[in-house]
Amino acid sequence: MSDNPPFDEMHGHGQTLRAPYEKYDTWFKDEDPKRLHKKADQAEALFRLSGITFNVYSQAEAEERLIPFDIVPRVIAAREWARLSRGIEQRVQAVNAFLHDIYHGQEIIKAGRLPAEMIAKNDAFLPEMIGVTPPGGVYTHIVGTDLVRTGEDEFFVLEDNARTPSGVSYMLENRETMLQMFPELFSQNRVRPVSNYPRSLRRSLAACAPPACTGKPVVAILTPGIHNSAYFEHSFLADQMGCELVEGHDLRVVDGRVAMRTTQGYKAIDVLYRRVDDDFLDPMTFRPDSMLGVPGIMDVYRAGGITIANAPGTGVSDDKAIYSYMPEIVEFYTGEKALLKNVPTWRCSDADSLAYVLDNLSELVVKEVHGSGGYGMLVGPAASKKEIAAFRDKLKTRPGNYIAQPTLSLSTVPIFTKQGLAPRHVDLRPFALMSPGGIDITPGGLTRVALQKGSLVVNSSQGGGTKDTWVLEE
Residue 191 DSSP code: B
Quick: pLDDT tens for 77-129. 999 999 999 999 999 999 999 999 999 999 999 999 999 989 998 889 999 99
pLDDT interval class at 375 (50, 70, 90): low
Average pLDDT of the residues in 42-69: 67
Q: Shortest CA distance to 328 belongs to which of 94, 14, 29?
A: 94
Quick: pLDDT tens for 411-438. 999 999 988 999 999 999 999 999 999 9
Dihedral pair phi/psi, residue 139, rounded to 5°: -95, -40
What's this model's pTM, rounded to 2 decimal places? 0.92
Kindly report which listed range (265-279, 301-315, 398-412) carries the lowest average pLDDT score.
Answer: 398-412
Q: Is the pLDDT of residue 243 over 80?
A: yes
Q: What is the pLDDT of residue 64?
A: 58
pLDDT interval class at 58 (50, 70, 90): very low
Q: Is the pLDDT of residue 214 over 50?
A: yes
Average pLDDT of the residues in 445-450: 94
Q: Shortest CA distance to 347 belongs to which of 146, 76, 117?
A: 117
Cis peptide before 310 (omega within 30 of 0): yes
Q: Is the pLDDT of residue 57 over 90?
A: no
Q: Is the pLDDT of residue 13 over 90?
A: no
Q: What is the pLDDT of residue 56?
A: 45
Residue 195 DSSP code: T
Pick the more confident residue, 458 or 148.
148
Specify whether the CB–CB gap between 299 and 262 falls below 8 A: no
Q: Is the pLDDT of residue 371 over 80?
A: no
C-alpha to C-alpha distance for 457 and 465, rounded to whole angstroms: 10
Q: How many CB atoms lie within 10 A of CB 4?
A: 8
Average pLDDT of the residues in 178-205: 96
Q: Is the dihedral of CA 197, 199, 202, 206 positive or negative?
A: negative
Specify whether the CB–CB gap between 350 and 115 falls below 8 A: no
Q: What is the pLDDT of residue 458?
A: 78
Q: Shortest CA distance to 115 belongs to which of 125, 106, 124, 103?
A: 106
Q: What is the pLDDT of residue 52?
A: 67
Q: Shortest CA distance to 343 belongs to which of 116, 201, 165, 145?
A: 145
C-alpha to C-alpha distance for 6 and 363, rounded to whole angstroms: 17
Average pLDDT, the chain: 91
C-alpha to C-alpha distance for 457 and 474, rounded to whole angstroms: 32
pLDDT interval class at 45 (50, 70, 90): confident
Name the pairing type of β-strands 244-246 and 219-222. parallel
Among residues of the chain, what percentage have pLDDT more than 70? 94
Average pLDDT of the residues in 264-279: 96
Domains of the chain, first to last: 19-343+408-471 (no CATH), 344-407 (3.30.1490.270)
Average pLDDT of the residues in 8-25: 93
Residue 8 DSSP code: B
Q: Is the pLDDT of residue 66 over 80?
A: no
